[in-house]
Structure 1
Amino acid sequence: MKRHLFVVAKYLILIVFFEGCSSTGAWRAKNIESGEYKRERVAKRFHSDMPVVVNDNVLAWMEYFQGPGRRHFERYLARSGRYLPMMQRILKEEGVPEDLVFISLIESGFNPHARSRARAMGAWQFMSGTGRMYGLYATPWEDERRDPEQATRAAARHFKDLYQELGDWYLCMAAYNAGVGKVRRAMAQSGSRDFWVIAEPRRKLLRPETRDYVPKYIAAMLMAKNPKKFGFDDIEYEKPLAYDHVTVPSQTDFNVIATSAGVSISDIRDLNPHLLRDVTPHGKRDYRVKIPAGTKEQFKENYAAVPVEKRVTIASHRVQRGETLSKIANRYGVGIAELRVANNLRQRSHIHPGQQLVIPREGRVIARAPQAKPVPRADSTPEEMTETATAALESKPTGQESVTPTAQAVHTVRRGESLWTISQHYNVGLSELMKVNHVMRGSRLHPGQKLTLPTDISSPLPSSNVVVAVEEAAIKHHLQPGETLGHVAEKYGVRARDIMQWNGIRNPRRVRAGTILEVKRTSIGL
């Protein structure tokens, strides 16, 4: 009885609140009858193009956003000013309700960098599979799920498809959160097409997160559209994004783009959160980039004067065992913060051996081995070869002299190296290297071991610690009797788990002699 009186009192307070804050329409209270909510749709009352139902669950989320979640909600409201105009325009162009934009509020707080524990990404929190269905692709260079413009258009089309199948916006929201298959099963098991019936806790047809998704959206939408009525009076909204699109004909880094446009590199990062490495994607020509509005003509004039070989420096560092971000930053003379930004690393992100880190262009690349021309792909165009290697190899680091090994040069073995990788590194025959050092094929090497190099070797290929993004053809290896994936990995200087991934191997114990393995060598050191 006391609980019933409490619920009635809460709705009476809501009546007084809305009647005191608005002059149009009448707000009728709702209470509980026979365990079910009496609902009322009041879309016109709130000038929304979405259906609106207010019940206990919605009120609970309102109380949360005004109480424990207030600080976060204020930040989301402030950030919404940056993206709302663009997102609502796209939703209107795609023919779906503009108020769907507040899905982005409850998904990510309008944060294009947001990433969930389930690896959903961007302001609209697309999973990789769903993203690909709607044209959002992720590569080491870019993740289009983080592009607010492309992701909004993809979300609009996804909702349009869901509505064509389900015919109810609340069911569409549930499907957006849980997947359309789970919503279909819940509808079949309940025999209802009413979200509120399907979402009843006693039925246990949907997860709690999905049951709360629609009430959370309704609460957030009502409060975001009427912030002052709910006590959010001092929100300083960010200015809407204003940008122009420009096209760069070949790979270009953010420093060149920013300098050409006369803006800071942070301006380019803010407008292009989908570009992960402060550079446009390798191999993509005529790539569209966003720059601050009003800088387009200046950019075109300045960019045209930049030589192709000066547009980008593609260099990265392969993390070695025991290395930390601090050590790597000190080695290259860059700040840890710069290193984190260039590689999209969070404050608590860990690095691991074998991981490739981009070295910011401002950093001075200190080569551990003599510099030489990288080996390009056979089908590379002159411009591709220039983009991937020339800028990185063009100048020698301060205090470093290029040295060509002479007779009886010595190589110190590093962790993970094999006779084959060393022979490829110095462009010598494997049999010659074995003969000079009196070792047998398959002999194990140890870190620190000294190997004598043949007397007629040419300049070595670049060191494996700093690499230029040059892709080589895959090697076909016939697995011999007694050979394991570990032996093959050691021979070619790669990891066994990479060989498993390249060849779709789940259980290495089931790989038999005679199997043809594909081994990829995708980068050459600088």
Structure 2
Amino acid sequence: MKYLFLLFFPIFLYANLTYDTNSNKELSLLSSFDIEPTFLYDPIMNKMKDKTLRRHKHFFHAMNEAYLFIPAIKNILSKYDVPQEFLYLAMAESNFQTKAYSNKRAAGLWQFMPKTAKLYHLKIDEYVDERRDLVKSTEAAAKYLSALHKRFGKWYLAAIAYNCGGGALNKAIKRAGTDKLSVLLDEKKRYIPKESRYYIRKIVALALIGNNEQFLMHSEYEYLLNRANAYSISTVKVAPGASLSRLSHIIHIPLKELKKLNRQLNYNFAPPYSNGYNIYIPYIKLAEFRQKYRDTAIRNIYKIHIVRNGESLGRIGKRYGVSYKVIKDFNHLHSNMLHVRQKLVIPIARRSRKLKLNTRRYYMVKRGDSLLSIAKAHHISLKNLRAQNNIKGSFIKVGDRLKLYE
């Protein structure tokens, strides 16, 4: 028995140390949300955690897809004194998909609604939707969460308010007579909406799994332990209208990866803003960018169209698959009037005839279309279609590019 004890003692000791280490990490994680240690025994949260662990491939696929920008998100959160564990709020919101879009018109990693996005200076126009900008949207989310924390005093309250709104949470606290989490989550009293009661539990469950190094070490995803800290992105400025295809060729990065890092762009080129535009590339490509990237005259990248008799901006835009508004902006036109033999710059990739539009999000008006027929064809309300496109009446014309979902 003595020898058996000596043989197995290191194993028992290691198991005990591992348990203590994991337990301390879990308590530290709860503390970062200002949550009491007893929450570790919350049955609904533990069911969520167990369910995610059973389907762990989905969880780690999301982590693997986001490995390039997770360090950037953590750095931005730290910059605004938001606990890094709020990374998992983004996971709960969008599964780390920058192109995520909800039926309530929320978009991006942090699922900002248009009104809140504009409040935090995220640009939404013909060329960009910065709710899908992984850096700018994270900065906006960090500022928003900081403001909610300042208002409510606890991080778990900031997370709940992020989901249901500060007004709704304020009413719930008054009704409950306390801001204690265990009371607010009461399934019988229902002080806060069910979605919010499950929301905070989901964030904590995801964070507990993501911070469980022992689980990672004993799975096929051990490489994520180092990978999440080793990779990051860099911000670089490109010329107005710069082509992503050209940049992809210059710095030897797949166009698909470059587009994934720059989901804020509605087209495969930077907007034609006079001061240029910041885009994102992998940090390991920064030196190559600085060495090789040079601004190129726009006519070497885009099509030059010579206006013929009877052509209009709408007809030309339809031919190339580009909104007439884009053509106006690129050519600094103050009206829709054209003259024969006028030269227009069309922002279109050199190797393709047409710039494909995302037809789920946009629709180019054709002859015979009406607002009502377009709304019915795409299963959206006429009221919503008007609101998306700032149309007060019913007038539309051939070549107009309408937003279907903001």
Q: Same fold (TM over 0.5)?
A: yes
Structure 1's 212 and 500: CA in aligned 2 closer, same or farther, altered over 3 A?
closer
Paired position in structure 2 for 1:276: 266
2:112 is aligned to 126
* Alignment partner, residue 44 of structure 2: 57
Q: 1:145 to 1:305 in 2, by over 3 A?
A: closer
State how far apart, in whole Å, the 2-side matches of 1:134 and 1:205 are: 29
Cα contact 2:70–2:232 (8 A) shared by 1: no
- The match for 1:154 among 128, 140, 143 is 140
Deviation at 1:156, TM superposition (A): 0.9
Which AA in structure 2 matches 1:291? I
Q: Is the 8 A contact 2:235 2:280 kept in 1?
A: yes
Where 1:173 maps in the other structure, the secondary structure is helix
How far apart, CA to CA, are the structure 2 residues paired with 1:393 and 1:225? 44
**Are the aligned partners of 1:147 and 1:272 in contact in 2 as well (CA < 8 Å)?**
yes
Residues 234, 281 of structure 2: 8 Å contact kept:
yes
Give distance in 1, aligned partners of 2:398 and 2:23. Answer: 70
> Which one of the candidate residues 459, 484, 504 is aligned to 2:392?
504
Q: Is 1:72 aligned with 2:58? A: yes
Residue 187 and residue 242 in structure 1: after superposition, are their counterparts in 2 closer, same or farther (change >3 A)? closer
1:294: Cα distance to partner? 5.0
C-alpha separation in 1, matches of 2:218 and 2:244: 38
Judged with a 3 Å threshold, the aligned counterparts in structure 2 of structure 1 residues 210 and 24 are, in CA distance, closer, same or farther, namely same
Greater RCO (Cα-Cα under 8 Å, separation 6 or more)? 2
How far did residue 266 of structure 1 move?
A: 2.3
Query: What amino acid is the match of 2:283?
Result: A
Counterparts in 2 of 1:408-419, with a 5 A limit? 415-416=367-368
**1:389 paired residue among 317, 329, 345:** 345
Structure 2 residue runs of 5 or longer lacking an equivalent are: 1-14, 306-316, 323-329, 337-341, 354-365, 373-381, 402-406
Q: How far did residue 125 of structure 1 move?
A: 1.6
User: What are the within-5 Å matches in structure 2 for residues 47-446 of structure 1?
Assistant: 49-52=32-35, 53-54=39-40, 55-67=42-54, 69-229=55-215, 233-235=219-221, 236-237=223-224, 241-293=231-283, 295-296=285-286, 298-299=288-289, 302-304=292-294, 306-313=296-303, 359=321, 377-378=333-334, 389=345, 415-416=367-368
Indicate the residue corresponding to 1:454 in structure 2. Answer: none
Deviation string for 1:48-96 (max 9, x for gaps)? 63334212122111111122x4332232333353332211111111112
* Post-superposition offset of 1:297: 5.7
Amino acid of the residue matched to residue 263 of structure 1? I
Going from structure 1 to structure 2, the CA distance change for 1:90 and 1:118 (only over 3 Å counts) comes to same
Change (3 A) 1:282 1:207: same
Q: 1:200: how far off?
A: 0.9
What is aligned with 2:377?
none
Q: Is the 8 A contact 1:48 1:99 kept in 2?
A: no
CA distance in 2, matches of 1:220, 1:499: 37
Q: What's the secondary structure of 2:20's corresponding residue? A: coil
Contact 1:128 1:137 in 2 (8 A): no
- Displacement of 1:300: 5.4
3-state SS of the aligned residue for 2:188? helix
Opposite residue 504 of structure 1, the aligned amino acid is: K
Q: CA deviation at 1:206?
A: 2.0
Residue aligned with 2:345, SS: helix
CA shift in 2, pair 1:171/1:142, >3 Å: same
From the superposition, tell whether residues 301 and 229 of structure 1 become closer, same or farther in structure 2 (CA, over 3 Å).
closer
Residue aligned with 2:235, SS: strand
Check the 8 A contact 1:187/1:193 in 2, yes or no: yes
Number of residue pairs matched?
Answer: 334
TM-score by length of 1: 0.54
Check conservation: 1:248, 1:285, Cα contact below 8 A.
Answer: no
8 Å CA contact retained: 1:113, 1:121: yes
Measure how far apart 1:260 and its partner are. Answer: 3.2
Aligned-residue offset at 1:135: 1.9
Q: Which protein has the larger Cα radius of gyration, Structure 1 or Structure 2?
A: 1
Structure 1 residues 128 and 416, CA gap change in structure 2 (3 angstroms): same
